Structure 1
Amino acid sequence: MSTGTATAAQASAEQVPPDGDGARGAVTLAGITKYYGGQLAVDDLSLEIQPGEFISLLGPSGCGKTTTLRMIAGFEHPDAGDIRISGRSVLAAPPYKRDVNTVFQAYALFPHLSVAENVAYGLQQRRTPKSEVRERVTQALDMVQMRRFGDRKPTQLSGGQQQRIALARALVNRPAVLLLDEPLGALDRQLREEMQLELKLLQSRLGITFVFVTHDQGEALSMSDRIAIMRAGRIEQLADADTVYARPASAYVAAFVGQQNFFRGPAAEAGAAIASPHALVRAASPVLTTTNLGEAAVRPEFIRIEKAPSAGSATAGPGSADANTARGELIGLSHLGDTMQYLVQLGADQSLIVRRPTPDAPALAIGDPVVCTWAAHHVLLFPAADDDAAQQGGYIAPPTA
């Protein structure tokens, strides 16, 4: 759709009655597209968000997730497509007339106002009666367990407490949709994990639709009803946490959600295996054509590791190994608390990362020859990807750019 067509759509949207015919809190993105100059930021994206759903937009920097959120909020306008909130098109509505509130990573609290005055600010701008303001501010502070801090200034609060006040300020207006743009990014790890639990409990109790933007897979997995994993302005996969973790739709999703070990090579065994230089990696069922170059992915927690019977086995060629067996040298060892992490060098061009529960972790030392094995039902097979994240083989971290 051209810019002129989008403008016409906006003009038409002004004629829509203020009360839509959809359930309160439903959000529909219908083919929205956004350019910044000649750069495509969001590419014909469509998404249905259910009332009361907690949905996360997950992806690396530059994938379009924050731009999508800002278009829902009204801070950016799509060049094409439509956005409906509670059944009503909001293309022509400015941010303050949309039934949404936004919480940002920067909490933007007024330092000269008390906590209670910060929370009340939006209600006062709407000329809400004073008696109602007091009641609703108290309720909002109770929601986030901050009533006893109502007289303090924001500078007298910790980062986690300020985050709660920002939430209360957004919730006091009782929006149909709460938009959260990486609101936990400024918190330390322990506090961030605590707030993840509190956010999900709060959302479940209130029944408000939450749209949460993050690049942190742990946040998305721990809180979301569904996760939209984004790539280059599009949704690569939309599913619940179990599905995107256990059954990723592509090598890109497999690499981004959790961590993976990738093996690359030609398809073998009628498409049920990858013949990489370091291991024959076999899946439970064939998914590749025998002429394809493909990739096999195995998560670190699904791999078993033990010391090789002899030093000679560490240098055995790939042809001498059974399927789903890799031999190498232990070059890294890390204690992660509940797990032990091992880094195994398979060859000059590939390493393997393994994680075992600490109580069951074998006692190994740097330099030990090791044997790694895994079950076929833990192997994911993909056609060779066109993205850099999974082309090189070996262990890769989630993409960050």
Structure 2
Amino acid sequence: MTVSAQNTMPAGSAADHANADAANTSEPEGSVVIEGVTKKFGGAVAVDNISLHVRPGEFLSLLGPSGCGKTTTLRMLAGFEEPTSGSIHISGQDVVGVPPHKRNVNTVFQAYALFPHMSVAENVAYGLRQKGTPKSEIRERVSESLDLVQMRSFADRKPTQLSGGQQQRIALARALINRPAVLLLDEPLGALDRQLREEMQIELKLLQSRLGITFIFVTHDQGEALSMSDRIAIMRKGRIEQLDDADSIYDSPASAYVAGFIGQQNFLPGMMTSDLNVMESPFGVLRSVIPHPELEAGVDAQAAVRPEAVTVTATAGTSAATAPTAENRIAGEVLGVSHQGETLQFLVSIGDGQTLLSRVPRPTAPRLAVGDAVVCTWDATSVHLFPSEQATQAQADIARAVSNPAPPTSSISL
């Protein structure tokens, strides 16, 4: 399956109409404002009272597992679905009830939609021809669009003569030729192999930065979202769990779900002390620098620590025995060592069936073998404390998402 684009521009002057409406509002061209939007399909709630403001020229990703509501949100922006309640404004224009072809947006899907009997140039020009644009202008704008995606030399080829990545570039060119205020992208890289997908992530971000067009990107791949986005909206069960830039989401997760969904975490159970920055666990005393607002002394909690924050040091059995008495210091035994390219990953048993993951850059990684006694340490700034029930439910939801990955999307997916 290859990437495709679908035009949603009007056969007339809808762009001018949208711009005129925007001029009479306080919202600039390329802005998107979603307020209190809910979408129901019968008794099922797909999107649950979300509000979201997208800045002009921003690259924003909607990230979450299959069924979280991200694609339904995108389809409401495109006009393929109408909200059950709430409002949507694009470039200051109220678009609820406005058909797709009268919205100044274009949508890029993963599903195949290039016309196989047309050349690359004819595919890109299709929307302009439908609008009756003069031929001289069509030629100029097709050339400009193909230059944007570095595909001008392929103008006379048919789609079947192109690779998946090349077809994706053509899909983008066809979407961009109408100069939309907002470009919506629904899993556009999902059909590409890993290496090409990573290359296209870089190219797509560079293209968006150069054009200054608002991109709203739907994906279930956290790597895509983290590498390209100005901000990321983490979605769960139809709601936005956290909206922030990549650094904040990774380093300061607002919930146990975000902590576990983005990257990897070591979750350790325990009980809160009177010092709400400190949790006592069967494995050691864990200190954080920021207390969780829902935690009180004596309640069950879980501490989250990322593998890359954990330092593993070989130790003699006698000194390791004193490790559990220190904060953020736990003794263990190496169960496994995995080479992961630029890093080494250590799996450490700390007792009672509990393990810790540590991930260390190879140049600085200790040389450890299975069975070695070690001490795992980390800084208090790397510890996040969450209510135990919240953390347990989050881990269960994430496990279900992993066991039921998102299927390939298409222009008719919900």
**Is the structural similarity TM-score above 0.5?**
yes
- Structure 2 distance, partners of 1:216, 1:262, is 22
One of 356, 363, 366 as aligned partner of 1:352: 356
- Structure 1 distance, partners of 2:342, 2:43, is 48
- Structure 2 distance, partners of 1:92, 1:337, is 51
2:388 match: 384
- Structure 1 distance, partners of 2:274, 2:379, is 16
Q: Does 2:315 align with 1:308?
A: yes
- Structure 1 distance, partners of 2:18, 2:101, is 17
State whether residues 279 and 325 of structure 1, in contact with CA within 8 Å, keep that contact through their aligned partners in structure 2.
yes
State whether residues 256 and 398 of structure 1, in contact with CA within 8 Å, keep that contact through their aligned partners in structure 2.
no
One of 55, 71, 76 as aligned partner of 1:71: 76
1:110 match: 115
State whether residues 57 and 215 of structure 2, in contact with CA within 8 Å, keep that contact through their aligned partners in structure 1.
yes
Q: Which amino acid aligns with 1:379?
A: V
- Structure 1 distance, partners of 2:249, 2:389, is 17
Q: Which amino acid aligns with 1:125?
A: Q
- Structure 1 distance, partners of 2:18, 2:127, is 26
TM-aligned CA deviation for residue 211 of structure 1: 0.3
Q: Which amino acid aligns with 1:40?
A: V
Helix, strand or coil at the partner of 1:333 = strand
- For residues 141 and 181 of structure 1, do their structure 2 counterparts lie closer, same or farther at Cα, with a shift above 3 Å needed? same
2:412 match: none
Q: Which amino acid aligns with 2:84?
A: D
Identical aligned pairs, as a percentage? Answer: 63
Q: Does 2:262 align with 1:257?
A: yes
1:362-400 superposed Cα distances (whole Å, 9 cap, x missing partner): 1111222222111112111122243645568xxx87953
Q: Normalization by structure 1: what TM-score?
A: 0.90
Q: Which amino acid aligns with 1:19?
A: D
1:42-92 superposed Cα distances (whole Å, 9 cap, x missing partner): 001111111111111111111111100010001111111111111111112
TM-aligned CA deviation for residue 346 of structure 1: 2.1
Helix, strand or coil at the partner of 2:98 = coil
1:266 match: 271
Helix, strand or coil at the partner of 1:67 = helix
State whether residues 263 and 281 of structure 1, in contact with CA within 8 Å, keep that contact through their aligned partners in structure 2.
no
TM-aligned CA deviation for residue 321 of structure 1: 3.7
State whether residues 264 and 391 of structure 1, in contact with CA within 8 Å, keep that contact through their aligned partners in structure 2.
no
Helix, strand or coil at the partner of 1:271 = coil
1:19 match: 21
Q: Which amino acid aligns with 1:368?
A: D
Q: How does 1:217-366 map to 2 (within 5 A)?
A: 217-287=222-292, 288-310=295-317, 320-366=324-370
Q: Normalization by structure 2: what TM-score?
A: 0.87
Please list every run of 5 or more consecutive structure 2 residues that lacks an aligned counterpart in the other structure: 1-16, 405-414
- Structure 2 distance, partners of 1:186, 1:265, is 43
TM-aligned CA deviation for residue 188 of structure 1: 1.5
TM-aligned CA deviation for residue 155 of structure 1: 1.3
1:145 match: 150
Aligned length: 381
Helix, strand or coil at the partner of 1:96 = helix
2:39 match: 34
1:99 match: 104
- For residues 216 and 17 of structure 1, do their structure 2 counterparts lie closer, same or farther at Cα, with a shift above 3 Å needed? closer
Q: Which amino acid aligns with 2:353?
A: D
1:195 match: 200
CA RMSD, 1 decimal: 2.2
Please list every run of 5 or more consecutive structure 1 residues that lacks an aligned counterpart in the other structure: 1-14
TM-aligned CA deviation for residue 182 of structure 1: 0.9
Helix, strand or coil at the partner of 2:283 = coil
Helix, strand or coil at the partner of 2:390 = coil
- Structure 2 distance, partners of 1:385, 1:124, is 58
Q: RCO (CA 8 Å, sep 6+): is it higher in 1 or 2?
A: 2
- Structure 2 distance, partners of 1:106, 1:210, is 19
Helix, strand or coil at the partner of 1:242 = helix
State whether residues 114 and 171 of structure 2, in contact with CA within 8 Å, keep that contact through their aligned partners in structure 1.
yes
State whether residues 270 and 289 of structure 1, in contact with CA within 8 Å, keep that contact through their aligned partners in structure 2.
no
- Structure 2 distance, partners of 1:212, 1:264, is 36
TM-aligned CA deviation for residue 292 of structure 1: 2.3
- Structure 2 distance, partners of 1:192, 1:323, is 42
- Structure 1 distance, partners of 2:250, 2:140, is 43
1:62 match: 67
- Structure 1 distance, partners of 2:353, 2:394, is 14
